[in-house]
Structures are given as structure tokens and as C-alpha cells.
Structure 1
Amino acid sequence: MAGPGFSFFGAEERKNIDVVMRTWALNRHAHDVPQYTTFVRRFELATESVFGAPYCVAVNSGTSALLTALAAVGVGPGDEVIVPGYTFIAPIAAIVHAGAVPVLAEIDESFTLDPADVEARITPRTRAIMAVHMLGAPCDLDALRKLADRHRLLLLEDVAQSCGATYRGRHLGTHGHAGAFSLGQFTVITSGDGGFVLLPDEHLYRRAYSFQNQGWYPGRTDWGKGDVLFGLNLRMSELAGAVACAQLEKLDQVLAACRHRKHRLLMAIPDLSGFGVRRRTLHDPAGECGTLLVYVFDQPAHAQAVAKALDTGTMAQSGRHYYGHMPALTAIKEGEVAPCPFQRPARTQDYRVGALPFTDALLSRSVAISVGVSDSYMGAGFGLTVRSLDDEIDEVADRFATAVITTSA
């Protein structure tokens, strides 16, 4: 099980790793190798160019990217951050560790934030909206941007599952005040572990750099222009940077492979609307990654029957991508320290299953077909790989259509 980038590992990644091993420049600063630009720095510069972002800071994971983004924009104790109830646990955990309060909001049939529900949850304590671009496709960024501007809120993007996707021709991660990315095993491109943050201006860049690198200023200097911060050590390793550089060069190739196979699969699956099933809503079909194909059923029993026939599960069985499977959330109580070692978060809303009825119902009646991301933990245990040929695509299409038809009421 892995994301599509893992399938493209080859000579380029090995060549870069060999350079690191020859120079022994294992740290992003390469203190003992003068006149050498590390792979981590090369990755940051290349990422700025590829995504059209003014600044990039590489870190050691997607979760570190989220925490760094929150630190850069100044989200902290007492602030509320609106986040979808369908997301990997990382953005919620980062919000809690920042001392802020996660406010869960409904998703719609795009499986991303429902802007109307977001607006209904804004309070005087709301500081930011966390737009999580789930399953390879963008949120409704036009609506969320208008909301953020009208209420003077920060707009943050979690692009962990949608690296390379665009919205209205512009890369995800560049629409808000910060964009956080993962380079983990299940992402579009991967360095095994790793992540990065895109920032729109120098001030936020300096804060992000300082936070992930022990409070130093860019270039690891003791003195410089910018805010004084207590930073952490969240740096990307040079070995991860070497792999990330090679993978970034393959991003267009990886996306083209995913998109081609998804289009081929869509053409092979017949119209099933007469059987009470439809495809997920996409806010920008041309901009999605093409890593997953999601179907929404009218009836949860039908979705569950189809999932069983395909030896997979509904989206409600997506592990810690669904708030109902996050025990740390339900453990949040006034004065209870257990869910977070550093905070005693106040329980400001009900995090138990049933708090988001539309999200609960939608996930229970939806089934995902993997195209580039194969991960049964997130409900994508059936489908293709990014290397699948036409005969395998046709077989998957036939199995899915047969299951839908034979299990319909």
C-alpha cells in the first residue's frame, strides 16, 4: 500500500542518495562541505518555482508542516480553527498542540468543507479556517476565500493528499496564508517522511523557518531580520531532501499517470445513476490529482453491500480520517490533560459521533476506488495502481459495476 510517487522510485532517487553518502552531508546545512548547496535547499528553491510560491520551508513531516504553518501565522491559545470532520487526524492534532481549539465542520459531497456550515460555526474567537483538500481534489476555495475575507480570518490549506492539484489554474497551497504539504508514503510524491510549507511573504517565511529550526533566522544565523521565536527541530533530513528533489521532478509524470488511468476507468464504468449512485462532486475537475474515484450511494445499505462484494469498506471505515475514529477528540474534557501532554483544552463542542450528521451519513454511503493511492486504512482498499494496464482497468470497472447492479434493491 502506498501513494503513486512510491511507484516511480528509480535511478534518479538512488543517484541523489549516492551524492549524499559520498559527501556525508547528512544535515540540511552541510557544515563541513563548503560551497555545497544541500538537496534540502535545492528542493525548497525548486518547489517555489514549480508551485509559483514566493517561499518554501522544508520540514520532516506533513504534521510538522501543519504545526509550522500555524506558528507562522500566529494561531495560538484561545483561538478557534474550523476544520472538517473528515480529514486525517494530523491537522486536528496540530491545532490542539498549538493551544487552539478545533471546531469541527460538516463536509459536502465534495468530501471537503461545506462553506455554509463553516460560516454557521464562526464565532468571535474564530481565527482561521483550515481547508483540507481531501482525496486529491480541491475545496471550494472561492467560497472559503470570500468567507475568510469577510470575517477577517486566516485561510490555511492542508494539501497533504493533493500535491500538484490546482484550483482555477493556480496550485493548491498558494491560495491562503500558508499551505502545508506531506511527503509521506501515501502522498502523490514521497520522500518516505517529510513535508513542506509554502508561504506568501517574507515575514511568514522567517517565522516558519525560525520555528522549524531552533529559532534561528534563515540561513541558520544567530541574528537577523524577523520575529524572535523559540523554535523546534523539525528540519527535513538531507537524505529525505535528496529523494524529494528527484520526486519533485517527476510530479507531472506521476499526475499524468493517475489522471490517465482515472479517465480510462471512468470511461469503462457505465452510467449507474439509475441504480442510485453518483460520482463525488469536484469543484475543479481539471485540477484534481486523479488519485481516487469516489461514488456516493442513495442508501447506506447499498454502499455497504457493494463494499463487501469488493472486499473493501465504506468511507465511514476510514480509520483516523473520520472524526468518529479519533479517540483523542472524545477524550477532550475541561481540565483533562490526557489527549495532549502540553495543553488542557476546553471542550467547546460535542466531538462524539452524531455531532456532524451529514458527514456521518455521507461517509456511510460512499465507496472509494483507488487509482494512484492504495490505502485500505482510508477506505481505498479496492481499485487500481498507477501502473495498471487497460485490461486491469477494465476488470476493476466491470467488478464495480457488477457489484452495484447485483446489490441494488
Structure 2
Amino acid sequence: MPGPGFEFLGDEERRNVEQVLANWSLTRYLFDDPEEHSFVRRLERDVEALFRSGPAIAVNSGTSALATALAGLGIGPGDEVIVPGYTYVASIGSIGHFGATPVLAEVDETLTLDPEDVERRITPRTRAVMAVHMLGAPCDLERLREVTDRHGILLIEDAAQACGGSYRGARLGTVGDAGAYSFNPFKVITCGEGGMALFRDRKAYARGFAYQDQGWPPLRDNNGVGTGEATFGLNLRMPELSAAVACAQLQRVDAVLAGTRRVRDRLVELIELHEGMRQRPLNDADGDCASVVVHTFDSADQAREVAVKLSTKPLVDSGRHYYGNMPQLKGNTSIRYQRGDLPRTDDLLSRSVAVSVGVSDAHLGSGFGVGVHSTEEDVARAAEAFNSAVRSAVTA
């Protein structure tokens, strides 16, 4: 299975879909019926209530959620947005699509954005920092928020891989000025394709809503409070069928995370630690989505040998989640980066190997491991395979 939410698809999702099909209510705008009955609107309200967030906007993908967040915050040409070099390409691409400049920064041992390097890269043109909760693990939001507040810039959370996770009790995606989730099949919960943007400020929410719905004010209420701005927008709306599945999945998010954390804890118990390797530190272990377990080795050669024995790869070879593997950054573009520009990120990823707990994705470097419903025997076999590969690599 690709992601943990996928393994929880069941009768509730099916019933919701059948309800949509029974009425052919395929869009959130239900003609003569009030929009309050739509699954899309229900999903937005459920996210706001469950995550105690500001206003939410359901869209058709995680990438659209990032774009909606950026539009709502007014990011545009001439602005710089600091983003880690270890993220999915959509984080960087969404910034570039608004004519803003992505400024790539290093990650630290947690494999999330390094607050110290972020501060070094702030210029008079910096408008925002995009904190990516990579591999389901929370960034150091306290330090990042302190940096952004001190410099008067915005904080955006890319929580595409971390829906339901938390940092010191606050759900990821709700701490910054805007947040974004993805619901594709490889994520914590899924509806096939879909995403969600969250906002702290209602004017930013109104701008974001207009961006994803052809310039309409929130909920298409011309009598409501809009931005006071006439704007063009796109059509990035989430379809009702996707929302029907997502509504059921959202109610399972804590059960999904309880499952990944249970399997993660047992896997960690069974993995032997040797000199020359360590488990990735976490900024908030309780809030980690536990979709992978990462170990970092002292030697890149050891990490590669372990990965090869497990038929996977070190994180530096993961697909378009590492800036050095993004051809968009190497071509004829004003945004140019190549491997070597972020030496600490390069080094850490070359020495790190991920074991899947709930997300099985070769492009993410998590092609080996177990699932959220794996048995004790499954977990024990995976741990022993990892232990055997490590013993061979570190004693060679």
C-alpha cells in the first residue's frame, strides 16, 4: 500500500461516495440546494474543528493548496521565499509560479529546515519562510516563528506529508500564517487527489479563496466580507467525490497515526544501534507522524551499502524530493541550484536511510519497510533485515 490512509479506506468512504452519486451532486455548488450540504464545505468545517485552525479551503491537490496559501498571503514578483533544499519539487515550484524567488536553505540533523541557516539567508526582499515537515516530522516551529517574527516576515507550513501531526500540542499547518496539506495516495490520509489550505487571517483566506475559485469571495457570498479587491483566479476546487472520501478519512486521522506510531515504536525497539549510526533526532517525537524511521550513518558508503542490501536507496537518491535531483533547477531558469550548493544537506542525505512505517514510496526513498497494519512477525522480519544489512556494512 502506498500510504497509511490508503490502508484505512472502508465502508464510511463508500457510503459517502454513494450519497454523492445518489444525488449526482458532483460539485460543492449544488445548484438550488444550499452549499452547506456539500461534502467539500463539510470537510473544511471538520478540519477547522478537529485541528482548531483558522479558515480552511479544500482544493484539488497539495500543490494547489500551496499555491492557494501563497496567493492568500500576497506572495508575488520581487519576493523571496526561503524553502529547504530537501522537499518535494512542488514546494519550490509553487513559489516560482508566482514570480517569486525560492531561496534554498539547509536542513539540520532532523532533515527539516535549519533555523540558523534560514536567518543567514534573509534579505530585504524576503517575504516568507516555508517550513516543510519532511517525512512527517515537525520542523522546529518555535525557533522558526521567533526568526520570522523578529524579521517581520511570514511563516508558511508545508504539511503535505504531515496531516494530523503536531508540534507542542498544536497541529502542524496551524502554527504559521498559512498551512497546506496533501491528500494523495502517499499521504497520511487520502482521497486520491486533493489538498487543503489553512489561514490565520481572514483577509488572507478571502484572497486565497478568490484565487482557487475564479475570483469569487468566500463561499461565493457576494454579501459577505471579501478582500475588497477584484482579482482573477483559477479553478482549483475540490470535487465532491474527493471530499466525500476525505471527510471519512479525516475522522480516521488519529487512528491512522496511532497505528503508524505503534508500528514505529516496535520497529525502533527491534533495531540494533551500532557505533557509527544514529536515529534521526526529532523536534517533537510525540508529534511525529511516524511514517518512516530514518537512521544516519557516519559514512555515506555505509549508508549506500545498507540501502543496496535492502533494495532501497539513501535519501540523496530519492526522486524530486532533493534539490540535486530536480532538473528544473539546472536548466535555463533564473532559479539555478546544483548539487554542492547546500553541502550540509548533501552530506546528511547521502548518509541517511529510511525504513517505511506507513509510506511505501520508492521516489521518497522509503521503498523498504512495513505498513500500518503489519503484524509482529512482519515488523520483526523487517527489523532483522535492517539489522543484518547494518551489521554487514559497519563491520566490513
TM-score (norm 2): 0.97
- The SS at the match of 2:220 is coil
Q: Which stretch of structure 1 is more off in the superposition, 140-149 or 28-37?
A: 28-37
The answer to whether structure 1 residue 401 and structure 2 residue 387 are counterparts is yes
1:323-366 superposed Cα distances (whole Å, 9 cap, x missing partner): 01111111143xxxxxxxxxxxx34xx50111001111111111
Q: Which amino acid in structure 2 is aligned with residue 230 of structure 1? A: F
2:346 corresponds to which residue?
360
1:125 corresponds to which residue?
125
Q: Could you tell me whether the CA contact under 8 Å between 1:30 and 1:36 is conserved in 2?
A: no
Q: Distance in 2 between matches of 1:202 and 1:159?
A: 20
Q: Distance in 2 between matches of 1:123 and 1:332?
A: 24
Q: Which amino acid in structure 2 is aligned with residue 319 of structure 1? A: G
The answer to whether structure 1 residue 311 and structure 2 residue 297 are counterparts is no
Cα gap change, 1:156 to 1:34, in 2 (>3 Å): closer
Q: Distance in 2 between matches of 1:45 and 1:133?
A: 23
2:94 corresponds to which residue?
94
1:106 corresponds to which residue?
106
- Picking from 383, 387, 390, the partner of 2:373 is 387
The answer to whether structure 1 residue 193 and structure 2 residue 209 are counterparts is no
Q: Could you tell me whether the CA contact under 8 Å between 1:86 and 1:323 is conserved in 2?
A: yes
Q: Distance in 1 between matches of 2:205 and 2:34?
A: 25
Q: Distance in 2 between matches of 1:190 and 1:40?
A: 14
Q: Distance in 1 between matches of 2:163 and 2:331?
A: 32
2:4 corresponds to which residue?
4
2:40 corresponds to which residue?
40
Q: Compute the displacement of 1:35 (Å).
A: 7.6
The answer to whether structure 1 residue 252 and structure 2 residue 254 are counterparts is yes
RMSD between superposed Cα atoms in Å: 1.2
- The SS at the match of 2:289 is coil
Q: Which amino acid in structure 1 is aligned with residue 247 of structure 2? A: C
1:363-405 superposed Cα distances (whole Å, 9 cap, x missing partner): 1111000001000111000000111000110111111111101
Q: Which amino acid in structure 1 is aligned with residue 364 of structure 2? A: M
Using the aligned pairs only, state the percent identity: 54
Q: Could you tell me whether the CA contact under 8 Å between 2:29 and 2:35 is conserved in 1?
A: no
Q: Compute the displacement of 1:225 (Å).
A: 2.4
Q: Which amino acid in structure 1 is aligned with residue 339 of structure 2? A: V
Q: Compute the displacement of 1:123 (Å).
A: 0.7
1:340 corresponds to which residue?
none
Q: Distance in 1 between matches of 2:380 and 2:298?
A: 25
- In the alignment, structure 1 segments of 5+ residues that lack a partner are 334-345
- The SS at the match of 2:320 is helix
Q: Distance in 1 between matches of 2:392 and 2:212?
A: 53
Displacement over 4 Å in runs of 4+: none
Q: Compute the displacement of 1:201 (Å).
A: 2.4
Q: Compute the displacement of 1:200 (Å).
A: 1.1
- The SS at the match of 1:259 is helix
- The SS at the match of 1:296 is strand
Q: Compute the displacement of 1:91 (Å).
A: 1.0
Structure 1 residues 146-165: aligned runs within 5 Å:
146-165=146-165
1:217 corresponds to which residue?
217
Q: Compute the displacement of 1:220 (Å).
A: 1.4
